[in-house]
Amino acid sequence: MGWRLTLRPYVLIVPALLLTCGILYPFGLGLYYTLFDFSASKPQPDMVGFENYRAVFTQKAFWNSAWVTVLYAVGAALTESVLGVAVALLLHRATLIGRILEKILILPLMIAPVIAAIIWKLMLQPSVGVVNYLLRPFGLGGVQWTDTPTGALLSSIAVDVWVYTPFVAILALAGLRSLPTSPFEAAAVDGAGWWYTFRRLTLPMLWPYVLVAVIFRFMDSLKVFDIIYALTEGGPGDSTVVLQIRAYLEAIRFQRYSFGISYTIVLWAVVYLAAMVLVKHLGKIQRKAAEVTT
Amino acid sequence: MRKRLVGWLCDAALVLYFVFALFPIAWMVILSLKPTDQLFSTYFSFSPTLDGYRTVLGDSEGIPFVRFFVNSLVVSVGAVVLSLVVGLPAAYASARWRFKGSENLMFTLLSFRFAPELTVIIPLFVLYQKLGLFDTYVGMVWVLQLVTLPLIVWIMRSYFADLTPELEQAALLDGYTRKQAFFKVALPLVKPGIAAVSLLAFIFAWNNFVFPLILTSNEAQTVTVGALSFLGGDRPKYNLTAAAALVSVVPPLLLALTIQRYLVRGLSFGAVKS
C-alpha cells in the first residue's frame, strides 16, 4: 500500500513531464548550438566556446535592440497598467453602461496579436489610413505613423496597449470585487473623500493583483515578436528591432543559427532575472497589502 | 448635482475607452466590404460587396486560405486534446498529493511561459528538417503543447484543489477504486472548468503566430500566418487583408462570447489565487 501511494502522483505526472522534455530537449540543443559557429554557410561547424556570446555583447546592434526592447516593454506595461486599472475602476461602479460594456471588454484580447497588428497597419497608413482621415479636420492629416523611428515605436506600443489593456483590466476588476467591504464602510462613516479612500485603501489593497498583471505584461513585452513583425518588421532602420526580431533576422533571415540562438539565450536570462526580482518584490507587497486589509 | 456630473464624466470616459477598443474591429468590417475600386476614395460611403470574402474563401490570389483555416482547426484541437489527456492527471496529482519536488515541477511547467519562443524554435527547425516533421500536423501539435499544456495544468490544478477530498474518500469507502473515484466523482465535478480551460487553450493555440511562421511553409500553415500573405504583392489589397483577418478571428471571438463568464474566471484564476 505504502509505496503505491507515494508513487502514484509521479506516475500521473510522467506523461506531462515527457511532453515537457520534448521542449527541454530542443532548449538544451539550442544552448549546445551556441557553442559552435553553426550557420547555413558552415554546415560542418567548429566548436568556438563562448565566442558567440562575446560577439553578441560587442555588437552595437545588440545594445540598440536591448534599448528598444526595454523602451517597448516599459512603455507598454506602464500604459496598460494605468489604463487597465482606470477601466477596472470605472467598470466597478457598475452603472448600466458599465455592465453592458463589461461583456465585450475581452474582445481585443481574443484577437491574435499579429492580426491586431495587421488591422492597425491598415488603419495607420499615412495617405489612405482611416486614422489620418479622421485627424484631417484637426490639421493632422499627414502623420507618418510607422515610417518615423519614434512613430514606429509608439505605434507598436499602441497596438500592444490595444490588445492587452483588457488583460490588466480583468485582473484588476477581479481584485476589486474580492476586496473586503468593511474598511470602505468604515472610511465612508468617517467621511473620507474619494481621493483619500482611493490612495489609502483601494490602491494598496489592489496593488498585489495589479502587480501580477504588470509582471506578466512586462515579461511578455520583453519578448514581443508578432506585433512588431507584422507592423514594422523592425523598421524604419532598426528603430523597432526588439531582441526577438533581431534573433529572427540573424537566425532565419541571415541563417546564422548559433548566433541568433545566442541572442535568445541572453534575452531568456534577462527575462528570468526580471521575473525573479519582480516575484520577490511581489511577496513583499502582498504582505504589506495584508497589513492594510487587517 | 456635482455627483451626477462626475457620474456622467465617468461614463463618458468608459465609452471613450470602448470606442478605442471596438473601432478597429468595426473598421475591419467596413474595409472588408469595400469593393476594390473604392478602397482609397471615399471613406464612409461606398457600395458594400461580399467580393472580398468570396476572393479570400475562394482560394483565389494563389493563397489557399480555406486550407489554412482547416489547418488551424486541426492543430489547435489536436494540441488541446493531447494536453488534456496528459495534463488532467498531472493537475489532479499535484492538487491531491504534496510530494517531493511537486512545487518545482509545477513551476518548471509554468516557467515555459517566460522563455522566448525563438530559443526553442530554431533548434526545433533544424530538428524538424531532419525528422521530417517540418510543415506537418504532428510537428505543429507537438510544439503547440508549449502553449496549451502549462495553461491547462495550472488552471485545472486550482479547480481540483477546490474540490474537497472527502468526496473521493466517500467514493473509496463505497468500494470504488482510485481510478473510478477520479473518473466518476472528481472529473464530472470539474467539467465546467475543463470546458472553460479547453476553450481558452484553443484560443491561445489558434492565435499563436511564431511557431507556424517558422515551422511550417505551406502544407500545415495556419490562418494567423496566412492572413499576412494578402498584404504582400505590388498593390496591397486592403479589403482582402481585412476579410482574411476577420475570418481568422471568428472562431476565437465566437468562443469568447459564448464562454465569456467562465473565461474571465479562467484568466484571473491562477494569477489572483496565489
Asked if A98's CB is within 8 angstroms of B11's CB, the reply is yes
The verdict on B102 touching A (C-beta cutoff 8 Å) is: yes
B92 burial type by CB count under 10 A (0-12 exposed, 13-18 middle, 19+ buried): buried
For the residues B2-27, what does the mean pLDDT come to? 90
Q: Which residue has the cell 545588440?
A: A62
Give yes or no for residue A155 having a pLDDT over 80: yes
Decide if A209 contacts B272 (C-beta within 8 A).
Answer: yes
Q: What is the mean pLDDT of residues B149-167?
A: 84
Residue range(s) defining the domain that contains residue A83: 51-109+150-226+241-293
- Chain B hits for A225, Cβ within 8 Å: 116-118, 209-210
Is the CB of A292 inside 8 Å of chain B's CB atoms? no
Predicted confidence at residue B150, as pLDDT, reads: 84
Cell of A220: 511578455
- CATH of residue A165's domain is 1.10.3720.10
Contacts of B251 in chain A (CB under 8 A): none
Alpha helices per DSSP H over chain A: 2-33, 51-58, 60-92, 96-102, 107-110, 113-123, 130-135, 149-178, 182-189, 194-197, 203-222, 226-231, 243-248, 257-293
Q: Is the pLDDT confidence value at A2 over 50?
A: no
Residue type, A239: S
Nearest neighbour of A268 by CB, restricted to B119, B145, B203: B119
Q: What average pLDDT does this structure show over B57-61?
A: 75
pLDDT of residue A276: 79
Per-residue pLDDT, averaged over B1-18, amounts to: 88
Min Cα–Cα distance to chain B from A29, Å: 6
Enter the ipTM. 0.87
- In degrees, rounded to 5, the angle at the alpha carbon of residue B133 between the alpha carbons of residues B128 and B136 is 135
3-state class of A181 per DSSP? coil
Determine which of B2, B108, B122, B269 to mutate to test the interface with A (most A C-beta atoms within 10 Å): B122
pLDDT band for A3, please (50, 70, 90 cuts). Answer: very low
- Does A12 sit within 8 Å of B118, measured CB to CB? no
pLDDT reported for residue A97: 85
Domain-located, residue A140: no
pLDDT at B113: 64
Residue A47, SS3? strand
**Which residues of chain B make contact with A98, given a CB cutoff of 8 A?**
11, 14
Helix (H, G, I), strand (E, B) or coil at A283: helix
pLDDT, tens digit, 9 for 90 and up, residues B75-112:
999 999 999 999 999 888 888 877 666 667 666 666 66
Question: In this complex, do A93 and B10 lie within 8 Å of one another by their Cβ atoms?
Answer: yes
Q: In this predicted model, what pLDDT tens digit does every residue of A170-226 receive, in sequence order?
A: 889 988 888 888 888 888 888 878 888 888 888 888 888 888 888 889 988 999 999
> Which residues 6+ apart lie within 8 Å of A134 measured at CB?
none
The total number of structural domains that make up chain A: 1
Within a domain: residue A19?
Answer: no
Mutate to test the interface with B, among A3, A99, A119 (most CBs of B within 10 A): A119
Give me the mean pLDDT over the B10-33 stretch: 92
Most confident of A55-59, B67-71, B172-176, B218-222: B67-71
Query: Which residues numbered 159-178 in B keep a CB inside 8 Å of some CB on A?
Result: 178
Q: Which of A8, A17, A33 lies nearest to residue B123, judging by beta carbons?
A: A33
Binary contact (A111, B14; C-beta < 8 A): no
Query: Rounded mean pLDDT of A50-69?
Result: 91
Residue B224's pLDDT band (cuts 50, 70, 90): very high
Non-local CB neighbours of B25 within 8 Å, separated by 6+ positions: A107, A108, A111, A119
CA quadruple B83, B89, B92, B95: dihedral sign = negative
Cis peptide bond N-terminal to A236, omega within 30 = yes
At residue A133, does pLDDT exceed 80? yes
Q: Scan residues 35-54 of B and list those with Cβ closer than 8 Å to A.
A: 39-40, 43
Domains contained in chain B, CATH given: 65-237+246-271 (1.10.3720.10)
Residue B212 has pLDDT above 90, yes or no: yes
Q: What torsion, rounded to 10 degrees, do the Cα atoms B160, B165, B166, B172 define?
A: 100
Chain A hits for B253, CB-CB cut-off 8 Å, are: 107, 110-111
Mean pLDDT to the nearest integer, B117-143: 89
Euclidean distance between CA atoms A13 and B34, whole angstroms:
53
Query: With the C-alpha atoms ordered A134, B241, A76, B8, is the resulting torsion angle positive or negative?
Result: positive
The enclosing H or E element of A201 equals: none
- What gap in Å lies between CA B211 and CA B125, rounded to an integer? 10
For residues A292 and A55, the model is more confident at A55
Nearest CA in chain A to B87: A16
Cα distance between residue A112 and residue A274, in whole Å: 26
Write the pLDDT tens digit of every residue in A239-278.
999 999 999 999 888 888 889 999 999 998 888 888 778 7
Task: Tell me whether residues A111 and B252 touch, CB distance under 8 A.
Answer: yes
A81 at interface of B, judged by CB pairs closer than 8 A: no
Residue A126 maps to a domain = no
Classify residue A86: in a domain, yes or no.
yes
pLDDT value of residue A72:
97
pLDDT tens sequence across B227-270 = 888 887 666 788 888 999 999 999 998 888 887 777 666 666 55
- What are the angstrom distances between the C-alpha of B175 and each of A135, B166, B247? 73, 14, 52
The cell for B22 is: 471596438
Which chain A residues touch B252 with a CB distance below 8 Å? Answer: 110-112
Q: How many CB pairs under 8 A join A and B?
A: 244
Task: Establish if A32 belongs to a structural domain.
Answer: no
Of A30, A86, A106, the CB nearest to B123: A30
Q: What is the mean pLDDT of chain B?
A: 84
Percent of residues, chain A, with pLDDT higher than 90: 32
pLDDT tier at B141, thresholds 50, 70, 90: very high
Which pLDDT value is given to residue B3? 78
**A277, part of any domain:** yes
Give all strands (DSSP E) within chain B, no chain letters.
Answer: none
Q: Which 8-state DSSP code applies to residue A45? A: P
Collect all residues of chain B within an 8 Å Cβ-Cβ radius of residue A243. Answer: 116
Instruction: Flag whether A249 is in a domain.
Output: yes
| CB-CB under 8 Å, B224 with A107 | no
Q: Calculate the alpha carbon distances from B124 to B140, B143, B216 in Å.
A: 11, 9, 12
- For residue B209, the distance in angstroms to the closest alpha carbon of chain A comes to 7
What are A126-132's contacts with CB under 8 Å, separation 24+? A128/B39, A128/B40, A128/B238, A130/B27, A130/B43
User: How confident is the model at residue B232, as a pLDDT?
Assistant: 74
What's the confidence (pLDDT) of residue A165?
95
Nearest Cβ partner for A175 among B102, B242, B272:
B272
Q: Which of B118, B143, B221 to mutate to test the interface with A (most CBs of A within 10 A)?
A: B118
In a domain, A119, yes or no: no
**Residues of chain A with C-beta less than 8 angstroms from the C-beta of B27:** 119, 122-123, 130
Question: How far is B62 from B69, CA to CA, in rounded Å?
Answer: 15
